[in-house]
Amino acid sequence: MSTIVTLVAIIMVLNGCGTLPNRLDHAPPQQAGKNNHPDKIKTQLYAQYNAWKGVRYQLGGFSKKGVDCSGFVSITFKEKFAIPLPRTTQQLAKQGFEIPRSQLKAGDLIFFKTSPNVRHVGIYIENGKFLHASTSQGVMISTIHNTYWQKRYWKATRL
């Protein structure tokens, strides 16, 4: 009997070691400690903007030769906050928990419905500004108060 209990315990331990940590177990950027104070998050996002400003949009792109919106979000969170995120907007939209637009904070993901079957994602910075890879102008900062984005706002999530 003790052999079975020992065997079950070993299997449980090994099974636990084989699972990947849930990225949502990481504290959200705005709560992850002194290195991720909201002002530091904004500083990191502006630094990412300065490093990527104007990089052209390329569907499926994942480098400075060309990047799409979800690729840019994924790269930014990995490089600036050490948080791995999924690669597609559809997968990103399932991460974290939804928050009201009125409670947006630096580092939150914001999503737009740009057409019936197309979604767009960016990273909220502050004062209505968000960082994203635009199909027309590449990596840039836009405002959610712009008529185009206001009409297409879908939701926001916090990781």
Residues belonging to the active site: 69, 120, 132
d(CA 46, CA 141): 9
d(CA 134, CA 150): 15
- Strands (DSSP E) contained in the chain are 62-63, 66-67, 97-99, 109-115, 118-126, 129-134, 138-143, 153-158
Give the distance, in angstroms, between the CA of residue 3 and the centroid of all CA atoms in the same chain. 46
Tell me if 124 sits within 8 A of 73, measured CB to CB. no
Q: Is 12 exposed, middle or buried (0-12, 13-18, 19+ CB in 10 A)?
A: exposed
Radius of gyration of the chain (CA): 19
- Single out the residue of 62, 132, 60 nearest to residue 153, CA to CA: 132
